[in-house]
Amino acid sequence: MTITRQAVAEKLASYLHHETPLAQLVDWAENAVMDGEFAPADAPVLARVAARLGVADVRAFGLTWEDCEQLLGTLGYAARVELVPA
C-alpha cells in the first residue's frame, strides 16, 4: 500500500484527536520508514516526516504541538484547534 501525504496527515490527526496512542503512531512511522512504500513524487518529504514521528517516543525528541503543526505544514495541511464544552 502506497503511503501518501494524506495518509500521514490522517495518522497524525488521529494522534492529535487522542484516537491513536503515541506508541502506535511511532510503530506505524517506524514501519513506514522500513517498508518505504511512499508515493514516489513525495517520497523525500514523507520519509522525513515519518522518520521524525518514528522517534517521537524518545525523551530527547518528544512530540510537541508545535512539532505537529510544522509536520502538518510540511505535508500541506494546517492544524486548527476547536474548543467544545467538556
For the whole prediction, is pTM greater than 0.85? yes
Phi-psi region of 18 (alpha: psi -120 to 50; beta: other; left: phi over 0): left
| The pLDDT of residue 27 | 97
d(CA 52, CA 74): 12
Phi, psi of 38 (to 5 degrees): -85, 150
Which SS3 state, helix, strand or coil, does residue 43 take? helix
d(CA 63, CA 78): 16
d(CA 59, CA 43): 27
pLDDT tens-digit map of 2-40: 999 999 999 999 999 999 999 999 999 999 999 989 999
